[in-house]
Amino acid sequence: MLYIFMLGYDVDFGHMEAVSLISAPKYPEKQVGYIVTSSLLNENHDFLRLAINTVRNDIIGRNETFQCLALTMVGNIGGREFAESLAPDVQKLLISSSCRPLVRKKAALCLLRLFRKNPDVVNVDGWSDRMAQLLDERDLGVLTSSMSLLVALVSNNHEAYWSCLPKCVKTLERLARNQDIPQEYTYYGIPSPWLQVKTMRALQYFPTVEDPNTRRSLFEVLQRILMGTDVVKNVNKNNASHAVLFEALALVMHLDAENEMMSQCVALLGKFIAVREPNIRYLGLENMTRMLMVTDVHDIIKRHQAQIITSLKDPDISIRRRALDLLYGMCDVSNAKDIVEELLQYLSTADFAMREELSLKAAILAEKFAPDLSWYVDVILQLIDKAGDFVSDDIWFRVVQFVTNNEDLQPYAAAKAREYLDKPAIHETMVKVSAYLLGEYSHLLARRPGCSPKEIFSAIHEKLPTVSTTTIPILLSTYAKILMHTQPPDPELQKHVWAIFSKYESCIDVEIQQRAIEYFALSSKGAALMDILAEMPKFPERQSALIKKAEVAEVDTAEQSAIKLRAQQHMTNALVVTDQHSLNGTPQSVGQLSLVKIPSISGDEHTSADQELSQANGTLATVDPQPPSADLLGDLLGPLAIEGLPGAAVLSEPNAVSGLEGVPIPADDAAAIVPVEKDTNSVQPIGNINERFYALCLKDSGVLYEDPNIQIGIKAEWRTQHGRLVLFLGNKNTFPLLSVQALILPPVHLKIELSLVPETIPPRAQVQCPLEVMNLHPSRDVAVLDFSYKCGTSMANVKLRLPAVLNKFLQPITVSAEEFFPKWRSLSGPPLKLQEVVRGVRSLSLIDMANIFTSFQLTVCQGLDPNPNNLIASTTFYSETIRPMLCLIRIETDPTDRTQLRITVASGDPTLTFELMEFIKEQLVGFPTAPRPPAPPAAPVAQPTNPAALTDPGDLLAGLL
């Protein structure tokens, strides 16, 4: 049976036999029983309860071998119940002097397991003295086990175990000097390396060593270990001694030793990263990275830079990764240039799995430590050139931001972009950057050879056939800008560009079509073009998205190692920095309004521009007749909060056509024109959430929620007590939705499992998230989906009820008169049969009522009741805890007064009867059959979390006008 299990099959038979074997009196049977039980069952298994008593008898019994077996099993699979009933006995065994070492060491580890699993159950108060006693143990087997136990105890609460600290140091000394160690415990000439490692691990859990004597002797030992280790031929000896050594290094780092010792450590590590053995090289690099978190060692580590860079070319990918991490960590202003150049060089040979990380890291370093900005631009352009596929949009958005904000940089960047365009085959991202940069700044180059507007245009236009639809809009904008900058106008160029615009006017992509039409209209207006297509305003200074990303990654990977404490400090630093940045960011929301270009802001111009435009835009198919007003503006701007998607939205429409805000466009397309950034945003749901919910209670698919950014659709399948729902999260925007989170708050009676929801929904994409529902017992409570996403700086958060309601677990069933009446009679009186008179019911004809019932999966049984004013229905209810249950319902109506009726519900389960009764009452009293009068549009469920979001953009603008 064990063999079957080992081969990976599920073994769910014979558990009982295994457990009963444990209580057999003979050793072989018992042994087999224990082994099988401990392998097949895990701590959550019910059968184990049966065994607890036998196990306990074995433990407190006199037979040593039985004790051993029992302890081993508990140590391997013991759960909470074991901890509750066995912990005191195990503790007694551990400290009893009458037991042989072999029992005691098992007891120690057994206790360790129980303690780790349930620290609250095992009582370890006052154990410090006993632990100290245990550490005096001569038998190394027991000592090893006790040390493991100590590690767990100390990691939980180091305060209580101060008394053990000197003992640990003493043990370490004894081991390191090889005093009094039996031959059998030396491993390749090293006295029990495992115990050494454990002891040092335990020492790392104490924040510091205060007693000067202890400290001194500890350092002596460490020094000895550091010096005494050398690379030898024998692999095993090598491994063992290095295991000890690395632990010693960790301890040194933890103790904040003097500089001298630190530099010694780094020197050692430097030696390791040069050895041939890959394991040691790997660990050397990793430890060096850890070392970086300790201050003052940067300079020493830098000496090994060349060696680390060689490791980047190692055949083993995990070593390459470590080396990359280390390089990233050790980079600062002084060596940034070398390192980044090295990374760029490596990028062209690196394997695909690493390229994305590599390019991201290079970009971050270049930004963080750039000695001058032109170098930064160079690096990024090279990066895009070499690994275009792996350069995320964030990276090139960032370059554009830098260039826009630094006037000195603009001619240089434009010239560079021009150079890259001349290359025969360039990556699409490069096309985007160069097109954008040239569109903005090509006029600065106009006097250079080969940079006349015409030449630039043809250089860019060459690329047009090769790019995808996301790039075409950028190219179109560039054309419009080039056209605008051509002074005096060049009729030939103009003709050419117009031809392109009119070609794309019928493009299938809405974005491209819209731009083509607009630019065409704008460019035919002549002088007004100047204002509208003016240079992009400067971007507000904000924290680099890349650095943010990196920080998130840092927090993720921050090693929870022995140097935990220091790492935490490190992290808090990082967080503080972030805070400052975001603080800097907020006041600018005020400033941003002034950044809007002049013509757009005054109301008069606004309207006139609009009128002109709507006249000019004869071709614009979707003209909204509504005159532009501050309110409309507010509506338009509402969904446009894009701060926080740094550059993303702005760049998707690089031509910030500020004057166009007022152009009447249906709200859905509003996101396509993104001239002004706003911090403010309150996401309003579209449609009534309650109505959508009620509709979904009856249907199995439909829209659960919708707002300007996202639409959540739902599709469900129900079978007995199981349900499978699929949530369709559709992003309606042209930019990705970030920080998407969905949490299910299930009521007790439903077991709901939601599969992973992706954090980002790409633009115009739909994501499916399956959801498994299981009904445990009858209840009318509703599960809630807590859904949030980031839109701009504000989080949008909605709480939506999920239509996994009682009636979804019903299945219609037809009952004949012969079945119905005996059943009806057998269920007599409360709590199985409940009767109630309900008043204030909406008046419904019997047929309407029957329709409602059918929609709830209740079968209306015709002709069972002799009275035509009565109605009888039946259904089956499915849940996990009770068997499928037949439910019978009888409604007696009064033909003279339709607002009152008597309901009788009967089923075999009292809760079910009650819940069903309440459910029917709710439905008959409150449920809408016809669409309800439109509810107030602002549904209370949507609550923007950001207080800033409360300021209505429309009001803000109105105040300014």
Measured from the CB atom, is 142 or 417 closer to another protein?
142
Candidate segments 67-75, 268-276, 334-342, 719-727, binder of another protein by CB under 8 A: 67-75
Helix (H) / strand (E) element for 835: namely strand 833-838
**716 — alpha (psi -120 to 50), left (phi > 0) or beta?**
beta
Of 32 and 620, nearer to another protein (C-beta) is 32
> What would the x/- binding string for another protein be over residues 243 to 272, using CB under 8 A?
x--xx-------------------------
Q: How far apart are CA 333 and CA 370, in angstroms?
A: 7
Q: Which is nearer to another protein, 102 or 553 (CB)?
A: 102
Distances (CA, A) of 385 to 357, 401, 417, 424: 16, 19, 11, 12
Query: Which residue in 15, 167, 242, 416 binds another protein (CB under 8 A)?
Result: 242
Q: Report DSSP state, residue 948.
A: G
Binding-site size, another protein (CB under 8 A): 63
Please, which residue, 195 or 815, has the CB nearer to another protein?
A: 195
The CB-of-337 to another protein minimum distance in angstroms stands at 33
| Rounded least distance, CB 192 to another protein, Å | 5
Question: Binding segment for another protein among 32-40, 472-480, 765-773, 830-838 (CB under 8 A)?
Answer: 32-40
Among 56, 80, 117, 130, binds another protein (CB under 8 A): 117
Residues shown for the chain = 961
Distance from C-alpha of 7 to C-alpha of 945, rounded to nearest angstrom: 52
Amino acid identity at 153 = L
Among 307, 561, 688, 788, binds another protein (CB under 8 A): 561
Q: Does 27 bind another protein (CB under 8 A)?
A: yes
Taking CA 909 as the corner, what is the angle to CA 903 and CA 913, rounded to the nearest 5 degrees? 20
Q: Tell me: does residue 23 bind another protein (CB under 8 A).
A: no
**Residues 735-774: x/- map of binding to another protein (CB under 8 A)?**
------------------xx--------------------
Contact call for residue 94 and another protein (CB under 8 A): no
CB of 86 to another protein, least distance (A): 14
Tokens 């290094």 locate to 249
Taking CB under 8 A as the rule, does residue 640 contact another protein?
no
Confirm or reject binding of residue 8 to another protein (CB under 8 A): yes
Angle at which helices 317-330 and 352-369 cross, to 10°: 10
- Compute the least distance from the CB of residue 43 to another protein, in Å: 6
172 within 8 A of 218, measured Cβ to Cβ: yes
**Binder to another protein among 10, 26, 351, 863 (CB under 8 A)?**
26
Is residue 764 within 8 A of residue 737, CB to CB? The reply is no
List of residues 6+ apart from 48 with CB closer than 8 A = 19, 37, 41, 77, 79, 81, 82
Name which of 27 and 821 has its Cβ closer to another protein: 27
CB of 132 to another protein, least distance (A): 20
Q: Which three-class secondary structure string do you get for 285-325?
A: HHHHHHHHCCCCCHHHHHCCHHHHHHHCCCCCHHHHHHHHH
Is residue 35 part of the contact set for another protein (CB under 8 A)?
Answer: yes
The pair of structure tokens assigned to 241 is 């001694």
Beta carbon nearer to another protein, 1 or 846: 1
Tell me which of 93, 562, 725, 888 binds another protein, using CB under 8 A: 562
End-to-end, the C-alpha distance of the chain in Å comes to 82
CB of 14 to another protein, least distance (A): 15
Smallest separation (angstroms) from another protein to the CB of 157: 13
CA distances for 318 relative to 113, 279, 283, 369, 435, angstroms: 32, 10, 10, 26, 38
Across 648-735, where does the E strand assignment appear? 701-706, 710-719, 722-731
Q: Which stretch binds another protein (CB under 8 A): 25-33, 52-60, 514-522, 787-795?
A: 25-33
For residue 148, state whether it binds another protein (rule: CB under 8 A).
Answer: yes
Q: Could you tell me which residues come within 8 angstroms of residue 712 by beta carbon, excluding any fewer than 6 positions away? A: 703, 704, 705, 706, 727, 728, 729, 730, 787, 800
CA–CA dist 334, 325 (Å, integer): 18
What is the widest separation between alpha-carbon atoms in the chain?
106
Which token pair is 644?
């926080």
Query: C-beta of 559: minimal distance to another protein in Å?
Result: 6
Binding range to another protein, per CB under 8 A, among 26-34, 836-844, 854-862, 883-891: 26-34
Q: Considering the complex, state which of residue 754 and residue 948 has its C-beta at the smaller distance from another protein.
A: 754
Q: Which residue has the tokens 């740094």?
A: 646
Nearer to another protein, 28 or 587 (CB): 28
**CA distances in angstroms from 932 to 92, 782, 844, 926, 927, listed in the order given:** 71, 21, 16, 11, 10
Q: Is 106 in the site for another protein (CB under 8 A)?
A: yes
939 part of the interface to another protein, by CB under 8 A: no
Judged by CB under 8 A, the residue of 6, 552, 555, 565 near another protein is: 6
Q: Which of 20, 23, 223, 239 binds another protein (CB under 8 A)?
A: 239
At closest approach, how far in Å is the CB of 205 from another protein? Answer: 12
Contact segment (CB under 8 A) with another protein among 114-122, 167-175, 910-918, 945-953 equals 114-122
Q: Is 885 helix (H, G, I), strand (E, B) or coil?
A: strand
How far apart, in Å, are the Cα atoms of 503 and each of 476, 599, 619, 918?
A: 11, 30, 14, 64
3-state DSSP assignment of residue 842: coil
Selected from 541, 559, 772, 955, the binder of another protein by CB under 8 A is 559
What is the closest distance, in whole angstroms, from the C-beta atom of residue 560 to another protein in the complex? Answer: 6
Stretch 501-540: interaction string toward another protein, x if CB under 8 A: ----------------------------------------
Task: Decide: is 7 part of the binding site for another protein (CB under 8 A).
Answer: yes
Q: Which of residues 174-203 bind another protein (CB under 8 A)?
A: 182, 184-185, 187, 192-195, 197, 201
Characterise 8 by phi-psi region: left (phi > 0), alpha (psi -120 to 50), beta (else): left
CA atoms within 13 A on the CB side of 292: 19
**Nearer to another protein (CB atom), residue 29 or residue 819:** 29
| Residue 778 amino acid letter | P
Give, in order, the Cα–Cα distances in Å from 163 to each of 111, 133, 152, 940.
20, 10, 16, 59
Residue 674 found at the interface with another protein (CB under 8 A): no
92 to 107, 108, 138, 826, 892: CA distances (angstroms): 9, 10, 19, 59, 71
Q: Which of residues 36-65 bind another protein (CB under 8 A)?
A: 38-39, 42-44, 65
Tokens of 448: 């250079």
Helix axis angle, 472-485 relative to 510-523, nearest 10°?
Answer: 10
- Minimal distance, residue 943 CB to another protein, in Å: 22
Structure tokens at 596: 């809007």
Q: Which residues bind another protein (CB under 8 A)?
A: 2-3, 5-8, 26-28, 31-32, 35, 38-39, 42-44, 65, 71-72, 75-76, 102, 105-106, 108-110, 112-113, 116-117, 119, 140-141, 144-145, 148, 182, 184-185, 187, 192-195, 197, 201, 236, 239-240, 242-243, 246-247, 279, 283, 559-562, 753-754
